[in-house]
Amino acid sequence: MPLPFTIAHDEYSPSRVLIMAELGTGHGGDRSKARELVAAAAEAGADCVKFQLVYADEILHPETGVVPLPGGPVRLYDRFKELEMPLDFFAELKEYSESRGLRFLCTPFGLRSAKELRSLGVDAMKIASPELNHDELIREIADYRLPTLLSSGVSRLADIERALGLLGAEHACLLHCVTAYPAPETDYNLRVLGSLGSVFGVSVGVSDHSMDPELVPVLGVCEGACAVEKHFCLSRQDDGLDDPIALPPADFARMARAVREASRLGPPATLSAVSSERGAELVAKVRGDGTKRLAPSERDNYLRTNRSIHALRDIAAGETIRAGDFAVLRTEKKLRPGLPPCWVPSVAGRKAADFIPAGEGIRFEDL
């Protein structure tokens, strides 16, 4: 039986699923739009809204690369800088979300943002897939002893095992995820929910980046999901980073209704109905075989969307590397990956074997 996930005395399970609207940074820094997103998510059937508390320096290096936007290519670092908001912005959103009967969640990306969220009195935390290997952040959040949703996109079993070892399985709900935007429904291998729940002794859920409003969420519930997360937008034509793959209100409402119906009917009746409507072959492909592996659509993102050790400045050959000369950052598309974050204690105090350009990953051969 799937383990339930509890937040502030509310227990979530496949028969009472936590439906999460990922609003992210879709507000663009506009308080009015942020409140409009919250209100629309509430009306569309969400139980919870989730934002992102962004400080660009906690996430990536200025030389990471560009993101294509309607107005032209923009440096991703600059885009994140534009989305940095004061803490009172999130305090206001927490109060407003709760006034609409919604749980408030927000993703931190480093120690500063995690500590600030804790200061707001949040009753749960969320760790995004790229931070699954961010040891220092996970240790910090583990100290809070709060219910924590941990996304597991672009990860292997060993990555999940390490993260849960640091966090503590008793506080965790593991969200199965495919780190591709959009992600093909047939890459989801939803039977892995049961495998992960059994192997790690945790509650499980699904964070869905596919374009179909219903297929992955509904079949996820059939496989034991206690929580379902989908990106939410007012319109896919808006300029939020995730808006092109998010669900507008009508589609999110359709998803929420379908999830509630799956909870009511139970897995056998739901699987029969979905197979009849969408085809048994498609349902079988989406459910997969339950073996945890990198999905085809996310393989190229491994070691790039997750964290590694990067130089913050140019480091000359023979120069001693100090603690402030590097950080644990996302690599993304342009830079080379560095050592995993677990090697941080071994980098400070070592000499650089060769010139290490600012932004590039620090590798074994560089030391």
Helices (H), 100-222: 111-119, 135-144, 157-167, 192-200, 215-222
- CB of 65 within 8 A of CB of 121? no
| Res. 59: pLDDT tops 70 | yes
Could you tell me if 281 and 314 lie in one domain?
no
Q: Using CA atoms, how far apart are residues 359 and 239, in angstroms rounded to an integer?
A: 27
- Per-residue pLDDT at 107 exceeds 80: yes
Which DSSP letter does residue 135 get? Answer: H
- The Cα-based distances of 19 to 202, 211, 231, 251 in angstroms read 18, 17, 11, 14
Phi and psi (nearest 5°) for 357?
A: -70, 150
Q: 33 and 126: one domain? A: yes
List Cα–Cα distances, 350 to 76, 218, 318, 319, 346, in angstroms.
Answer: 30, 51, 9, 8, 8
Q: Which of 226, 224, 231, 191 is nearest to 209 (CA)?
A: 231
Residue identified by tokens 């400070």 is: 348
Q: What pLDDT, on the 0 to 100 scale, is given for residue 292?
A: 96
Domain match, 256 and 324 both: no
Do both 117 and 232 map to the same domain? yes
10 Å CB burial of residue 64 (0-12, 13-18, 19+) is buried
- The sheet carrying 203-208 orders its strands as 103-107, 48-52, 18-24, 227-231, 203-208, 172-177, 148-151, 125-127
| CA distance linking residue 111 with residue 118, whole number of Å | 11
CATH number at residue 227: 3.20.20.70
**Are 285 and 313 part of one and the same domain?**
no
Domain edge (last residue) among 281, 298, 315? 298
What proportion of the chain, given as a percentage, has pLDDT over 70? Answer: 99
Query: Do residue 78 and residue 226 come from a single domain?
Result: yes
Question: How many domains does the structure of the chain reveal?
Answer: 2
Instruction: Please report, rounded to a whole number, the percentage of residues in the chain having pLDDT higher than 90.
Output: 91
Tell me: do 341 and 237 sit in the same domain.
Answer: no
CATH of the domain at 350: 3.90.1210.10
What's the rounded Cα separation, in Å, for the pair 97 and 109? 21
**DSSP-assigned letter for residue 296:** G
- Do both 342 and 285 map to the same domain? no
Provide the residue range defining the domain that includes 333.
Answer: 303-366
- Torsion over CA of 264, 267, 268 and 271, rounded to 10 degrees? 100
> Do 230 and 314 share a domain, yes or no?
no
Q: Is the pLDDT of residue 1 over 90?
A: no
DSSP-derived pairing of the beta strands 203-208 and 66-69: unpaired
In this prediction, residue 70 carries a pLDDT of 59
Q: 357: pLDDT confidence band, cut at 50, 70 and 90?
A: very high
Domain's final residue, options 298, 315, 346: 298
pLDDT band at 359 (very low <50, low <70, confident <90, very high): very high
Same domain for 325 and 283, yes or no, is: no
β-sheet bridge partners, residue 285: none
User: What stretches of the chain show up as alpha helix (H) in DSSP?
Assistant: 31-43, 56-59, 76-82, 87-99, 111-119, 135-144, 157-167, 192-200, 215-222, 249-265, 267-278, 280-287, 344-347
What's the pLDDT score for residue 71?
A: 64
Q: Give the pLDDT confidence of 179-195 residue by residue, as tens digits.
A: 999 999 999 999 999 99
Are 308 and 276 in a shared domain?
no
Comparing C-alpha atoms, which of 182, 158, 159, 160 is closest to residue 169? 160
Instruction: Choose the final residue of a domain: 242, 265, 298.
Output: 298
Same domain for 246 and 360, yes or no, is no
Mean pLDDT lowest among 37-46, 72-81, 290-299, 307-316 = 72-81
d(CA 178, CA 172) in angstroms, rounded, equals 19
